[in-house]
Structure 1
Amino acid sequence: MNERKVALITGSAKGLGKMTALQLAESGCDIMLNYVNSRREAEELQRRIEGLGVRCLAVQGDVASPDDMHRLVETAVQEWDGIDILINNAGPFVRERRLFSEYEPQEIDYLMRGNLLGVMQLDHLVLPFMRRKRWGRIIHFGFGHAAEARGWPHRAVYAAAKVGLVSFTKTLAVEEAPHGITVNMICPGDIRGANKEKRIAEVEHERDDESPRGRPGAGEDIARVIAFLCEGRSDFITGNIMDVSGGLDPIRALIGARTTGQAIQ
């Protein structure tokens, strides 16, 4: 990037958000990290990013809270005069497989706010600054095959929110294209556990029999695509829903097969 840009990555203390923050910092962006509970990890990452020679802030805030998102953007404006790149990585997810009828009303509200309404509201907050500069990059996160609006048993609320975000991504891309702003969605494959924070070189010789590609996915698989979309000359790529999955279909409809796990993360 010829001119240093400011990138806000939600949910970036760990996982795919962390790898994206590092990738954009390596390309010369100033980074605003965001976390909910992972303060220690965020501060450690902040120091690491500052060691790359760019500026970095770590700000607490929940994407499902409009007040938190206002504060996040206000901090970016006060410190750095706005946001050029917005990576909407954060989004609550229920790991336990449950039918829609088993959700509590407050869980439905939280999942919809965190994965759809919160994303739309944060986009709305940053658009004026991007329009003023006539340059901006917005990235949303989905799931594999989200663009097909397929059913996803045991993931009804999360899937509904992300499929709604597909439509919003395409609409916003058309509306903001004249202002030099691109809007795209990344749909990661089944990148598991520690692999979310690994480079491709660390996993490329491992075997994953479920993946058509044959190897497990790594955080770098996602981060490098995002970095490409954020380049200045990637301005002709907008309104796209990109699966980065190694060919794996993540939707496994196993009605009746239950697994237990954690609640909303």
Structure 2
Amino acid sequence: MKRNRTALITGSAKGLGVRIAHELAAEGMDIALNYRTSAEEANKLREELIQRYDVNTLLIQGDVSRSEDAEQMVKTVIEAWNRLDILVLNAGPYIKERKKLADYKIGEWDQMIHGNLSSAFYLCRAAIPHMRRNRWGRIITIGFEKAQTAPGWMYRSAFAAAKTGLVSLTRTIALEEAEYGITANMVCPGDIVGEAKEKYITDVRGLSDPGTPVGRPGTGEDIARAITFFCSEYSDFITGTVLEVTGGKDVLNKYKLEREK
């Protein structure tokens, strides 16, 4: 990976964002860490990246679902480094409670749509002109298994609607911005939850997960490595792609199987 590339990772103080930040920093990239409320965790991660990889880092507080915050995030990166090469749209709210569409509150629907779909519009709209200027850019969005087929997902109607919309947005950006050397791809994680989001692959070697065909649990590093691949200088021929990183597990239908037990 070419050094001195800059990356803005949203929602990077916890979970998958932590492993993504480590993977990109290990490639020599300067990292802008976005957080909404987790200032302590973001500061800790910033120190880890500086000490381990000797890269420049920024901390940027902001809510991606607010257009003014999203625009300010990009502005902060440009003012500091005069370029933004990589945008990883990792932040996105998720309602853990299982509920059917008719049981959603208006505010919950808005939270899912604005946090997972509108936020991508705000950030890409702000970032793309700077990528065009340098005729190089990488945009990575995060989806879910089968998102590219617009499947039904019981109890996750708002989240699924936002993310399937994000598939189309990602592919549209890929088409519109290809002439400027900008690629846009989506990575779809499998059933990786809790502490596993921040784990390395070596942490789970030897652990058994009968519910996943490959036989082991997934980790944040599995996702981060896929994202790093899309960010490579040599991945310029890959755009508009939706890549599932699931270990072969059928995540959507696990709820149906649980009900049938």
TM-score w.r.t. the length of structure 1 is: 0.94
> Residue 153 of structure 2 aligns with which residue?
152
Show the counterpart of 1:106: 107
Of 22-31 and 74-83, deviating more is 74-83
Question: Does 1:88 find its partner at 2:89?
Answer: yes
Q: Distance in 2 between matches of 1:70 and 1:2?
A: 26
Structure 2 distance, partners of 1:246, 1:200, is 12
Contact 1:139 1:184 in 2 (8 A): yes
Q: Secondary structure at the match of 2:159?
A: helix
Answering whether residue 24 of structure 2 is matched by residue 36 of structure 1, we say no
Deviating more after overlay: 127-136 vs 49-58: 49-58
Residue by residue over 1:165-204, the C-alpha shift from the partner in whole angstroms, topping out at 9 and shown as x without a partner, is 1111111101111110000000000012111111111102
Instruction: Supply the distance in 1 between the matched residues of 2:257 and 2:21 (Cα, whole angstroms).
Output: 37
Q: How many residues align?
A: 257
Structure-2 separation of matches of 1:49 and 1:84: 18
SS in 2 for 1:2: coil
Give CA deviations for 1:141-181 in whole Å, capped at 9, x if unaligned: 00011111110010000000000111111111011111100
Partner of 2:13: 13
8 Å CA contact 1:145, 1:249 repeated in 2? no
Deviation at 1:2, TM superposition (A): 2.6
CA RMSD of superposed structures (Å) = 1.3
* 2:23 equivalent to 1:23: yes
1:30-179 alignment, distance < 5 Å = 30-51=30-51, 52-179=53-180
SS of the counterpart of 1:123?
helix
Aligned-partner SS, 1:7: strand
1:219 corresponds in structure 2 to: 220
Q: Are residues 212 and 256 of structure 1, via their aligned partners in 2, closer, same or farther at CA, if it must alter by over 3 Å?
A: closer
| Unaligned 5+ runs, structure 2 | none
For 2:257 and 2:145, the matched residues in 1 are separated by 19
- TM-score under structure 2 normalisation? 0.96
| Structure with more of its chain in helix, by fraction | 2
Aligned to 1:201: 202
Deviation at 1:3? 3.8
Aligned equivalent of 1:262: none
Contact 2:189–2:223, Cα closer than 8 Å, also in 1: yes
Measured in 2, the distance between the counterparts of 1:93 and 1:192 equals 12
CA distance in 2, matches of 1:65, 1:2: 32
Query: d(CA) in 1 for partners of 2:150 and 2:43?
Result: 38
User: C-alpha displacement at 1:256, in angstroms?
Assistant: 11
